[in-house]
Amino acid sequence: MKLNELPVLLSPFNQKRVRRLNAQSIRENGEYVLYWMQINRRFEYNFSLEYAVNLANYLQKPLLIYEGLSATYPWACDRFHLYVMQGMEENHQLAEKNGWNYFGYWEEAPKAGKGLIYELEKRACAIVSDDNPVFIMKKNNDSVSQKVSCSYIVIDSNGLIPFGLTDKAPYLAFLFRKTMQKYFVESMQNMPLKQPMDELINQKHIDLNFSKKPFWKLEISKQDFISQLPIDHTVKPIAEIGTRKEALKAYQVFLDSKLLHYGEDRNHPDKQAVSNMSGYLHFGKISEQEMVQSVLEKQPKSWDINQITYKNGQSGSFFGGYSFIESFLDELITWREVGHHFAHHEPNYDAFDSLPDWAKQTLSEHEKDERVYLYTLEQFEQAKTHDKIWNAAQRELVRDGRIHNYLRMLWGKKILEWTPNARVALEIMIELNNKYAIDGRDPNSYSGIFWILGRFDRAWFERPIFGKIRFMSSESTLKKVIMKQYLKDFASDLDTTKETKNETLDLFDS
């Protein structure tokens, strides 16, 4: 017996998060509903998991949660592998404690896990997975959905505003902010459940005797497992631990000791006022909804969400209450989600040609402008430029997997200035960001990279190399940004006397 129509399992507002990727029916005689946990790697505040639980209840079936880690994803390295493995161990412990059906798999060698998702699908009524518009998640969803014989459903659990509420790629943050302001209150009234697994009715144990071993039966340490893989071992793990427990702890530190000064101090590296939550958001260890909810609890006692009124996309006074909360929420919601919605509607989100026409035109007009400094990818990667601030930012990226928010913008602007043309600059920014950043390979980090070249921005005064693209300089940054300790931490030993001027180079010249 098969179901041709999808049942309505979320609120009308949150049904805008639901997409069916194939024409296959729900297989009612299947053994379980399969939730493929690809990027929302958490059991709390997860619309994808909530939908899967609701579908299992509707069909009176148990739920199987599958979480995997491939050995062959682009930019695979020790840093990303360990981060994901830490989170998977936490998920397994939680599932085991509660008696949930959870199958976690670490691929021991390239292609060793090939076919596993199809093996799991054979016994499934339907597959529910995470709707994410970039990287391997999009590729997996597009490919697997067309090869399985049951219904394949993806759920948008990326942010407050469902993908279904925008009909085209927003080319300015202002335009997306208008949508956000229109639906913000309704979104907060339609929060994901904190504990969706508490709602699961059929708790029947599922035999996990599949052809592959779950990772907890491998009898090998994470470090030894990683060392045997053909991945990039030069990108070392970072101190940050990739678990939900650590995400919640880090966010609480931000709320208690940094949020109050966020508005005035966030651009100053020495003040350490930023949240540093982007890695946890990227790997789905924490939801944007719970972050917003926790921040709103810091508003004045007299504040009332029902007093919020539409501001036609204007920033600075929408949320009401404290200005530092206004600043943080605009970054967290508007600037984070505009990239997700852009990539959702624009398949070529990571291509130069996806830039606005004015940006492509002005960059083309200035392509032949003289560059005083030119660097190779290798020189950039090794922080061997003439600029101490830039070198410090690159060193932070290599060591810690992130660059301070303000310096990340300067980092990109200088790459544009010190490469033969904007296309080369884009390739280098994507390569360095995706190779080292714990929040790389993400719609939000692509937004940051493409903002360097004019996406979500407007035309400015024309100047050499940049044309009408917004310009930033290290000299100006040094004058207005507090970063003495930052430079001491990341650049005290740097020799910047050797300069590379007007060299002929190849992008991947070594």
Amino acid type, 333: I
Which distant-in-sequence residues (6+ apart) come within 8 Å of 284 by Cβ? 39, 40, 41, 42, 46, 130, 157
Write out the E strands in 71-136.
101-106, 124-130
Whole-number pLDDT of residue 493: 81
Taking the C-alpha atoms of residue 215 and residue 222, their distance in angstroms, rounded to an integer, is 10
Taking the C-alpha atoms of residue 264 and residue 167, their distance in angstroms, rounded to an integer, is 35
pLDDT digits (tens, 9 = 90+) for 41-88: 999 999 999 999 999 999 999 999 999 999 999 999 999 999 999 999
Distance in Å from the first CA to the final CA of the chain: 61
- The residue-averaged pLDDT of 373-391 equals 98
Taking the C-alpha atoms of residue 157 and residue 133, their distance in angstroms, rounded to an integer, is 12
Taking the C-alpha atoms of residue 126 and residue 120, their distance in angstroms, rounded to an integer, is 10
Q: What is the dihedral of CA 375, 424, 508, 428, to 10 degrees?
A: 80
pLDDT digits (tens, 9 = 90+) for 307-316: 999 999 999 9
- Is it the case that residue 129 has pLDDT exceeding 70? yes
Taking the C-alpha atoms of residue 184 and residue 173, their distance in angstroms, rounded to an integer, is 15
Taking the C-alpha atoms of residue 147 and residue 304, their distance in angstroms, rounded to an integer, is 49
Whole-number pLDDT of residue 409: 98
- Name the DSSP class of 333: I
- Is it the case that residue 3 has pLDDT exceeding 90? no
pLDDT digits (tens, 9 = 90+) for 410-469: 999 999 999 999 999 999 999 999 999 999 999 999 999 999 999 999 999 999 999 999
Q: For residue 219, which phi and psi values (nearest 5 degrees)?
A: 55, 50
- Name the DSSP class of 463: B
Q: What CATH number is given for 161-192+243-347 in this structure?
A: 1.25.40.80
pLDDT digits (tens, 9 = 90+) for 224-276: 999 999 999 999 999 999 999 999 999 999 999 999 999 999 999 999 999 99
Domain limits, the chain: 2-157, 161-192+243-347, 352-491
Helix, strand, coil percentages in the chain from 3-state DSSP, rounded to 5 = 45, 10, 45
Taking the C-alpha atoms of residue 454 and residue 457, their distance in angstroms, rounded to an integer, is 5
- Is it the case that residue 392 has pLDDT exceeding 80? yes
Q: What CATH number is given for 2-157 in this structure?
A: 3.40.50.620
- Name the DSSP class of 306: G
Residue percentage of the chain with pLDDT more than 90: 94
Taking the C-alpha atoms of residue 482 and residue 320, their distance in angstroms, rounded to an integer, is 29
Q: How many CB atoms within 10 Å of residue 228?
A: 11
- The residue-averaged pLDDT of 474-499 equals 85
Does CATH place domain 352-491 in 1.10.579.10? yes
3-state secondary structure of 323: helix
Sheet with 101-106, strands from edge to edge, namely 18-20, 151-155, 124-130, 32-36, 63-69, 101-106
Length of the chain: 510
Classify the phi-psi angles of 19: left when phi > 0, otherwise alpha if psi is within -120 to 50, otherwise beta: beta
Element (H, E) at 446: helix 443-451
- The residue-averaged pLDDT of 157-173 equals 97
Per-residue CA distances from 354 to 44, 85, 377, 442 (Å): 35, 34, 23, 16
Whole-number pLDDT of residue 502: 43
Whole-number pLDDT of residue 295: 98
Q: How many CB atoms within 10 Å of residue 482?
A: 12
Q: How many CB atoms within 10 Å of residue 13?
A: 15
Whole-number pLDDT of residue 405: 95
List the one residue out of 270, 241, 277, 275 whose CA is nearest residue 257: 275
Confidence of residue 4 (pLDDT cuts 50, 70, 90): confident
Per-residue CA distances from 77 to 81, 111, 226, 230 (Å): 6, 16, 9, 9
> CB–CB of 98/197 below 8 Å?
yes
Confidence of residue 362 (pLDDT cuts 50, 70, 90): very high
- The residue-averaged pLDDT of 7-34 equals 97
Mark 178-209 as b/e (b = at least 16 C-beta within 10 Å). bbbbebbeebeebbbbeebbeebeeeeebeee
- Is it the case that residue 508 has pLDDT exceeding 90? no
> Residues 27, 66, 277, 378: is their CA dihedral positive or negative?
negative
Whole-number pLDDT of residue 492: 85
